[in-house]
Amino acid sequence: MGFERLHPDIQASCGALFLNGHYQASALEACKSVAEALRATSGLALDGTSLAEAALGGSPPPVQLNAGVTTTDRSEQQGFMRLASGLMLGVRNRSAHEVGEPDRIVTFEWLCVASLILRYMEEKP
């Protein structure tokens, strides 16, 4: 499925869980990895959507993913803020509060989103 291509932090935090069929727990761990990276990079002591929006939003954002000069740069930054916020709101909260295993493919796709956010954070200017 390409799990080995995901960001190393995602592989480390939720690889064994995902590969052993614990999809809900693996999705939660992926979200926690993104939150941890946002806190470490931004210095903010927030969590969830508040963290994602504060770390990746604003002008300039504490976690700047690009030069922030062009309209495209600003749109990309806002898009990643919304992706991270959506990951926290739609995946982390569900994983933390619902019983039952989500679908393997859907979980893998959410892990891909978490991986993408972490990669963009590493490649920032």
Taking CB atoms within 8 Å and a gap of at least 24, the contacts of 19-23 are 21/101, 21/104, 22/101, 23/101, 23/102, 23/103, 23/104, 23/107
Whether the Cβ atoms of residue 3 and residue 19 lie closer than 8 Å to each other: yes
- What would the pLDDT profile of 86-122 be if each residue is shown by its tens digit? 999 888 867 565 666 788 999 999 999 999 999 999 9
Chain centroid, CA 11 distance in Å? 13
- What would the pLDDT profile of 29-63 be if each residue is shown by its tens digit? 999 999 999 999 999 999 999 999 999 999 999 99
- Which structural domain, as residue segments, surrounds residue 28? 3-122
Number of domains in the chain: 1
Q: Residue 113 has which token pair? A: 């989103």
| H helices present in the chain, as ranges | 8-19, 23-42, 48-56, 71-86, 93-97, 104-122
